[in-house]
């Protein structure tokens, strides 16, 4: 499911994402570097039109280096399957790339320190739809404190960095795991995703910004963790 406005070739996109990953892999810009096992950069289709942004890695994700591989990930995969998609069609990332101890909430200074990785991912992947999962991703990308329960399922156009996207807030699958009514709400919101994707990308604000590759070493082999299809 390639994005409609592609400004980078697939190989350029992957090279630049790998460069950002190389920066994140050794990042010590906040205290979570002291307690993480693995930096969980993100995984999926680098050409995806649909990108999910969750909160932060949990214990399983921290161990395996891949986002949404625990129970919440299984629910996400099930909901994707119900609209005819798989993980291979989408890209999944988090606001924080390292696990907060005990799965506590992200701290503002951690979000501040880490957000440039997420913004780089969105800029390089060029998704049509960015689905934010839960409060932290929604508030960060909307730049607004409105809670997810008020705005889930309501798509809006937002400028994120140089790119205008269709931002689509959703409940976090982890919050819905043990509450049937929340799963039903999530399922209803997921059901609108195909129509949202079919709209294509919003009109962009102008010529694409010059995208300079991050200054990391492009030569390093990161295929093992950066699971790009
Ligand atoms: S959470 Fe983000 S800013 Fe903090 S150490 Fe990990 S990658 Fe760096």
Q: Rounded mean pLDDT of the chain?
A: 89
109 lines ligand 1 (CB under 6 A): no
At residue 207, the pLDDT reads 63
pLDDT above 90 (res 222)? no
Q: Distance, CA 169 to ligand 1 centroid (Å)?
A: 23
Q: How confident is the model at residue 8 (pLDDT cuts 50, 70, 90)?
A: confident
What is the tens place of the pLDDT at every residue in 153-193? 999 999 998 899 999 999 999 999 989 899 999 999 999 99
Query: Which pTM value belongs to this model?
Result: 0.88
Residue whose Cα lies nearest atom 1 of ligand 1: it is 98
What is the tens place of the pLDDT at every residue in 49-68? 999 999 999 999 999 999 99
49 lines ligand 1 (CB under 6 A): no
Q: How confident is the model at residue 212 (pLDDT cuts 50, 70, 90)?
A: very low
For the residues of 105-171, what is the DSSP string, one character each?
PPPHHHHHHHHHHHHHHHHHH--SEEEEESHHHHHHHHTS---HHHHTT--EEEEETTEEEEEEEE-
pLDDT above 80 (res 221)? no
Structural domains of the chain ordered from first start: 7-204 (3.40.470.10)
40 lines ligand 1 (CB under 6 A): no
Are the C-beta atoms of residues 107 and 56 closer than 8 Å to each other? no
176 lines ligand 1 (CB under 6 A): no
């Amino acid at each position: 499911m390639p994005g409609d406005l592609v400004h980078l070739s697939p190989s350029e996109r992957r090279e630049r994402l790998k460069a950002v990953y190389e920066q994140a892999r050794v990042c010590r810009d906040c205290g979570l570097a002291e307690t993480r096992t693995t930096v969980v950069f993100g995984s999926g289709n680098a050409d995806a039109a649909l990108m999910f942004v969750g909160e932060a890695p949990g214990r399983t994700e921290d161990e395996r280096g891949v986002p949404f591989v625990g129970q919440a990930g299984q629910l996400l995969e099930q909901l994707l399957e119900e609209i005819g998609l798989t993980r291979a069609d989408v890209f999944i990332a988090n606001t924080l790339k390292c696990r907060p101890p005990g799965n506590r909430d992200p701290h503002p200074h951690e979000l501040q320190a880490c957000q440039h990785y997420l913004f780089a991912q969105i800029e390089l992947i060029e998704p049509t739809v960015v689905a934010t999962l839960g409060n932290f991703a929604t508030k960060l990308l909307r730049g607004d404190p409105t809670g997810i329960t008020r705005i889930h399922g309501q798509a809006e156009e937002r400028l994120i960095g140089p790119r205008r996207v269709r931002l689509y807030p959703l409940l976090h699958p982890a919050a819905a795991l043990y509450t049937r009514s929340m799963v039903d709400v999530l399922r209803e919101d997921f059901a609108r995703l195909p129509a949202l994707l079919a709209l294509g990308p919003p009109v962009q604000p102008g010529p694409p910004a010059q995208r300079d590759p991050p200054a990391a070493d492009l030569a390093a082999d990161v295929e093992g963790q950066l699971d790009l299809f």
